[in-house]
């Protein structure tokens, strides 16, 4: 893994506040910032690694997800920074997919693409595009990938149409899966994402939009033969980053899957609920894209 992208907060109080929002004490946050020269991202990685910390939550995250190797990129901008962005996460994911695949078409170092600026620009673009095509999507608030693709392509020459036209959706999409704690489940995240890698047309990154209604995230998968990182991008503010949006860069697919499960946890509805209902509640849709050529 190359040197992590450094994200700086504007003031010491903001830096300490960000770390404290993750569950660390003021003393732990302050000490980590001192040790990392004021670099917030490095301080996050240090604390999540459990070094110098007795925080149970951080140590559990470290044990489950090899978090000492997970790099964090943060932006102060989320989809909720704009009043029009509340339901724009799917269009934002498509915008991020387009921007990343275009920037990384020659298999450049992905860490050179994923930055705070990348997150904020993609989110702002996605919100703008989402609101420009809402009428063509019948005004539906939480639009599906299919509905957005159809609405974008229905427009005359436009930025939305250009973005969608640049993306090639894999055959037999969407691929439907079931959240499961069993890694060998043929419909689980591990298997579904591995299949997406295997089905890639070109030996480049693929962008996978994952939807579990009403939320959507994006993951970026390197070629199966590559040792490059696996990336999760989320336009929602949520733990451990309580404000803005973020990207998590993982060393392995299994590490990525663990992070996805923290966003979309497996839900046990109890013995009184039918298996079919439980499967429906834990279902998710996967849309793998590569850059269209020619």
Query: For domain 12-67, which architecture applies?
Result: Orthogonal Bundle (1.10)
3-class SS at 227? coil
- Check residue 278 and give its pLDDT: 83
For 238-284, how does the pLDDT look when each residue is reduced to its tens digit (9 = 90+)? 876 667 999 999 999 999 999 999 899 988 878 788 888 888 889 99
pTM recorded for the entire structure:
0.77
- Largest Cα separation within the chain, whole Å, is 57
When mean pLDDT is compared across 106-110, 131-135, 213-217, the lowest value belongs to 106-110
Domain residue limits, the chain: 12-67, 75-291
- Check residue 56 and give its pLDDT: 39
Contact 94, 126 (CB under 8 A): yes
Domains 12-67 and 75-291 share a fold: no
What sign has the CA pseudo-torsion 254, 111, 77, 27? positive
Q: What average pLDDT does the structure give for the chain? A: 82
Q: For residue 54, how far is the Cα from the chain centroid?
A: 28
- Whether residue 8 is predicted with pLDDT greater than 60 in this model: the reply is no
Comparing CA positions, the residue from 85, 289, 170, 160 lying closest to residue 150 is 160
For 153-208, how does the pLDDT look when each residue is reduced to its tens digit (9 = 90+)? 998 888 999 999 999 999 888 999 999 888 788 999 999 999 999 999 888 899 99
What is the pLDDT averaged over residues 14-30? 76
Output 105 or 160, whichever has higher pLDDT. Answer: 160
Domain 75-291 belongs in CATH node 3.40.50.150: no
């Amino acid at each position: 893994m190359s040197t992590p992208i450094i994200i700086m907060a504007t003031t010491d109080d903001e830096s300490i506040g960000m770390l404290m929002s993750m569950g660390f004490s003021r003393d732990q946050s302050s000490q980590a910032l001192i040790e990392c020269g004021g670099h917030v991202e490095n301080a996050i990685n240090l604390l999540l690694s459990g070094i110098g910390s007795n925080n149970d939550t951080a140590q559990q995250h470290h044990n489950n997800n090899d978090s000492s190797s997970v790099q964090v990129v943060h932006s102060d901008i989320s989809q909720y920074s704009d009043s029009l962005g509340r339901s724009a996460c799917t269009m934002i994911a498509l915008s991020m997919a387009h921007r990343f695949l275009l920037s990384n078409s020659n298999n450049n170092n992905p860490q050179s693409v994923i930055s705070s600026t990348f997150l904020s620009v993609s989110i702002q673009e996605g919100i703008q595009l989402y609101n420009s095509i809402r009428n063509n999507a019948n005004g539906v608030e939480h639009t599906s990938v299919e509905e957005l693709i159809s609405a974008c392509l229905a427009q005359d020459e436009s930025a939305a149409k250009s973005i969608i036209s640049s993306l090639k959706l894999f055959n037999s999409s969407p691929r439907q899966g079931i959240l499961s704690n069993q890694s060998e489940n043929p419909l689980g995240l591990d298997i579904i994402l591995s299949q997406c890698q295997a089905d890639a047309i070109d030996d480049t990154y693929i962008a996978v939009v994952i939807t579990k209604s009403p939320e959507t995230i994006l993951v970026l998968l390197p070629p199966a033969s590559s040792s490059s990182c696996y990336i999760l991008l989320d336009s929602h503010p949520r733990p451990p980053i309580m404000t803005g949006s973020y990207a998590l860069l993982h060393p392995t697919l299994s590490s990525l899957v663990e992070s996805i499960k923290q966003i979309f946890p497996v839900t046990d509805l109890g013995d009184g609920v039918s298996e079919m209902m439980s499967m429906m509640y834990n279902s998710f849709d996967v849309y793998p894209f590569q850059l269209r050529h020619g």
